[in-house]
A and B are shown apart, each in its own frame.
Chain A
Amino acid sequence: GIQVEQSPPDLILQEGANSTLRCNFSDSVNNLQWFHQNPWGQLINLFYIPSGTKQNGRLSATTVATERYSLLYISSSQTTDSGVYFCAVDTGTASKLTFGTGTRLQVTL
């Protein structure tokens, strides 16, 4: 099956710093989503981005499908950004989302 690797696995930032999270995948995908999982376990949809670039406030994402990677940018980080960030891909064969390994982000004061 498809392999989805995220880097870095762990990240500690001071409030106000910027960061870039990376998602590499091993095969062509039809869909790609970024999620933030909060400490209570809720998966919050950040972006649906099979290709191209999108922005939403302090967050933006870029997917380069031909090179099989996606990037999530977080600017001016806040403590509420803490949690685990997952990318997940769907190869389109049966609407199966395969999740990446995750990046655990901690934002400190």
Chain B
Amino acid sequence: DTEVTQTPKHLVMGMTNKKSLKCEQHMGHRAMYWYKQKAKKPPELMFVYSYEKLSINESVPSRFSPECPNSSLLNLHLHALQPEDSALYLCASSQDPGTSTYNEQFFGPGTRLTVL
């Protein structure tokens, strides 16, 4: 099973709201990722968790707060977002982080976020 699930599929929030995006995988993968994709652009990496520890933060604003409660779950907490944060947020996972061996990434269906 190469499935990564994400909830919710769609989210509309105001600039003063607090919300969370959730991602789950049951493939035994030890690396999990958040990407952001603006319309008509390629996905861009935001965060990498390796063995449940944050290993990469691509200078993401603090209004985005990632959390990895266990090896299967990844959350992205959102607070005081701006309209320009509206985008598709993609979660991914891979088997073997930070090595040059097989490390294929598998993506979830994404959460389409609109900030009003």
Contact = CB atoms under 8 A, between A and B. Distances in A.
Interface string A63-105: 0000000000000000000000010101010111111111000
Interface residues of A, number: 23
B89 to A, nearest CB: 10
Interface in B36-52: 37, 42-45, 48, 50
A97 B104 CA distance: 10
A14 B104 CA distance: 32
B109 A92 contact: no
B66 interface: no
Interface of A: 30-31, 33, 35, 40-43, 45, 48, 86, 88, 90, 92, 94-102
Interface residues of B, number: 29
Given A41-B88, A41-B109, A99 B42 contact: yes
Contact of A97 (B98, B105, B109): B105
List of 3 A-B pairs having minimum Cβ-Cβ separation, nearest first: A99-B42, A43-B107, A30-B100
Of listed A97, A98, A100, residue having the most chain B CB within 10 A: A97
B60 to A, nearest CB: 14
Nearest to B50: A95
Interface of B: 2, 31, 33, 37, 42-45, 48, 50, 55-56, 88, 90, 92, 94, 97-100, 102-107, 109-110, 112
B107 to A, nearest CB: 4
A41 B110 contact: yes
Contacts of A42: 107, 109-110
Of listed B43, B88, B92, B112, residue having the most chain A CB within 10 A: B43
Contacts of B104: 31, 33, 45, 48
